[in-house]
Amino acid sequence: MIIYHAHLKVKQEAISAFKKATKKVVTGSQKEAGNLQYDLYQDVTNPTIFVLIEIWQDREAIAFHKETSHYKEFKEKLPDLLIAPHDVDAFEGEKLN
């Protein structure tokens, strides 16, 4: 499986718009056949920091995801919502429990 942790720093004035945009991509992504997890987390001490955790069955599922309208729309909106470009940690892993 492929795991992504996307770290996003959102403009204070854009938090509501970011959450709205993210809800659409999360909902759409969770319905995709190759998606195992797609969840958004907000830092409790700094509300401008978010982590998007994605787990995909394989690279084909990711390729399909990147062609969906919900992903493309989200990606297009991100630059206006973020303080800086997001960082992504990606790795291939195996669930142990």
Nearest in space to 22 (alpha carbons), one of 86, 93, 94: 86
Give the span between the Cα atoms of 41 and 50, in whole angstroms.
6
pLDDT at 87: 93
In degrees, rounded to 5, the angle at the alpha carbon of residue 61 between the alpha carbons of residues 48 and 21 is 30
- pLDDT tens digit sequence for 6-38: 999 999 999 999 999 999 999 999 999 999 999
The pLDDT of residue 62 is above 90: yes
User: Which residue ranges form the domains of the chain, and what is each CATH number?
Assistant: 2-92 (3.30.70.100)
Asked whether residue 44 carries a pLDDT value surpassing 90, the answer given is: yes
pTM over 0.75: yes
pLDDT at residue 95 is higher than 90 = no
